[in-house]
Structure 1
Amino acid sequence: MIIFKKVADIQNYISIQKEKGKSVGFVPTMGALHEGHISLIEFGKTQSDFLICSIFVNPTQFNDKNDFEKYPITIDADIELLEKNHCDVLFLPSVAEMYPDGMELKTHYDLGNIENLLEGAFRPGHFQGVCQVVERLLRIVLPDKLFMGQKDYQQVMVLKKMIQLQNLDTELIMLPIKRSQAGLALSSRNARLNQENLDHALTIIRVLEKIKSNISKNTFETLKKDAEDTLLNNGFEKIDYIELAQQEDLQSLPIWIKDTPSIILIAAWIEGVRLIDNILID
């Protein structure tokens, strides 16, 4: 695996590869890598001639300073994991390399209502920061395909919109959520939980599956209230949202509509750690 820390160096390398007719796959990450990231890399390698992974903890997408400061940094372990799984290139830039002109937003992305829903309502400015850094990365790497996971479903929708707005020639491919054997959605933030709370965290997928199984037999409000009670009785301190929405645009659905592709999304706090998850209803 080749590691680049400078924009000019990785751009020169990519230019040479593209002159040879090679296609580029890209997996952007904030590090603290786990099997979810590796599943993206493994699939990306089957779809591209060479695969680039980036590790950059982006300050502009954290509306909570404490969350930024607590984000796990495991660079040595990350590099070892990438090498073990045959990643071709790692881009490991500094903040100064990514934001040579400062971190102030230079572009306001007209994302529409999707940036104000769900995550956007609880993390103001988050998606503007995400779009800023991902656009910067895409313009550096110039990938043919960008691979992301379904766990961050709203982020995927937002970035598809940004790619369209900025006329970037990259195809975004979303892959299913990678889960632990027990069913917990893999997340870098899971590393901050002790074993007892990791066990309690499994309640999220259990309530999602229960809502999905019963959505045609009960009202969503009834199922939502039951899910909230179940979470709060199993170690969760706070629930930001449990929502039923359309897959297409994440518009809220007060009731389930047969034959409308839907999604149930949850964000909840346990041991001071905010977890998100979702399940599709097709």
Structure 2
Amino acid sequence: MLIVKKLLKLKNILEIWRKENKSIALVPTMGNIHDGHLKLISIARKNSDILIVSVFVNPMQFENIKDISNYPRTLNEDCQKLKKNLVNLMFIPEINEMYPYGLTNQTIVNVPKLSYILEGIHRPGHFQGVTTIISKLFNLIKPNIAYFGEKDFQQLVIIRKMVIDMNFDIKIVGIPTVRNQDGLALSSRNIKLNEYELKVAANLNKVMNYMAHQLINIEFNIHQIIKKAKIILVKNGLQPDGLAICDELTLKKLTTDSKNAAILVAAKIGNTRLIDYKKVKLQ
């Protein structure tokens, strides 16, 4: 496995692979590689000649400096896991490589409307940080295909819109969320939870299942379902921080034409904020 930190070296390696007509897959990450990432990597490995995994803790998508300084960094362990899973190239640029003129002077890639609803309300500026760094990675690597987890579902919808709007010739693939035995979605943030908190956090998935059941089996009232779900979360030790039921494609209110609903939930346990997603077939 090649480990690359500099843009020029990355460019030179990619030129060789392109001359050989190699198909290239990209899995963008912020490191702290867990089984959720490895599921993406496993699928990507089967569907490409060359697999690149980027590891970059992107400062532009964090609300404050404390959050980014607390983000778990496990670079040595990440390297071993990627090598074991037959990744061809690990791209680990420094901040000054990706933002040579600083964050305040960086051109922003912004997907309107979608970036300012739901999670965008709770995390101002987050999604434009995501779309800016992903567009830079896409321009640098020019993958044929890129893989993202569905847990960050709004992010996935936004990236798909960006790819269409910016004419990137890249296929975007969303991979279903990997969960532990209690149903908790795997996340880098889980490392902050103790054993008791991990058990409590599993109620997030249980509440989503409750919301889905209500939506499918009962003449539903979205407002009432969300209200009841918030009560259940609080009773189980979680602080609701954003629950929504919306159209899977548009992230807007459900209509009679909606084929699938997206249940999006966010809740805090202590100082840790967790998010999750569930798809519900309506038609």
Compute the TM-score of the two structures, normalised by the length of structure 1: 0.95
* Distance (Å, rounded) in 2 between the aligned partners of 1:61 and 1:220: 30
How many Å apart are 1:108 and its aligned residue?
4.1
How many Å apart are 1:112 and its aligned residue?
2.5
* Distance (Å, rounded) in 2 between the aligned partners of 1:18 and 1:242: 44
Paired residues for 1:98-113 under 5 Å: 98-104=98-104, 106-113=106-113
* Distance (Å, rounded) in 2 between the aligned partners of 1:264 and 1:47: 29
The CA deviation string for residues 59-105 of structure 1, in whole angstroms up to 9 with x for no partner, is 00001332212110111111111112111110011001111122226
User: What corresponds to 1:176 in structure 2?
Assistant: 176
1:264–1:279 contact (8 Å) kept in structure 2: yes
User: What corresponds to 2:227 in structure 1?
Assistant: 225
RMSD: 1.5
Where in structure 1 are there 5+ consecutive unaligned residues? Answer: none
Identity fraction in percent: 36
User: What corresponds to 1:242 in structure 2?
Assistant: 243
The CA deviation string for residues 33-69 of structure 1, in whole angstroms up to 9 with x for no partner, is 1000000011001111010000000000001332212
* Distance (Å, rounded) in 2 between the aligned partners of 1:252 and 1:220: 10
User: What corresponds to 1:5 in structure 2?
Assistant: 5
1:105–1:129 contact (8 Å) kept in structure 2: no
2:244–2:265 contact (8 Å) kept in structure 1: yes
Paired residues for 1:182-261 under 5 Å: 182-216=182-216, 217=218, 218-236=220-238, 238-253=239-254, 257=256, 260-261=259-260
Paired residues for 1:75-86 under 5 Å: 75-86=75-86
User: What corresponds to 1:153 in structure 2?
Assistant: 153
User: What corresponds to 1:132 in structure 2?
Assistant: 132
Q: Which amino acid aligns with 1:33?
A: I
User: What corresponds to 2:278 in structure 1?
Assistant: 279
How many Å apart are 1:258 and its aligned residue?
7.9
2:212–2:280 contact (8 Å) kept in structure 1: yes
SS of the equivalent of 1:252 reads coil
Deviates more, 1:222-231 or 1:173-182: 222-231
* Distance (Å, rounded) in 2 between the aligned partners of 1:202 and 1:271: 14
* Distance (Å, rounded) in 2 between the aligned partners of 1:182 and 1:258: 34
User: What corresponds to 1:74 in structure 2?
Assistant: 74
* Distance (Å, rounded) in 2 between the aligned partners of 1:157 and 1:88: 28
* Distance (Å, rounded) in 2 between the aligned partners of 1:176 and 1:120: 22
* Distance (Å, rounded) in 1 between the aligned partners of 2:23 and 2:100: 28
How many Å apart are 1:151 and its aligned residue?
0.4
* Distance (Å, rounded) in 2 between the aligned partners of 1:64 and 1:232: 27
* Distance (Å, rounded) in 2 between the aligned partners of 1:277 and 1:252: 18
* Distance (Å, rounded) in 1 between the aligned partners of 2:42 and 2:223: 39
Task: Say how many residue pairs are matched.
Answer: 279
* Distance (Å, rounded) in 1 between the aligned partners of 2:15 and 2:32: 29
* Distance (Å, rounded) in 1 between the aligned partners of 2:226 and 2:102: 43
Q: Decide whether aligned partners of structure 1 residues 105 and 119 sit closer, same or farther in structure 2, where only a CA change above 3 A counts.
A: farther
How many Å apart are 1:164 and its aligned residue?
2.2
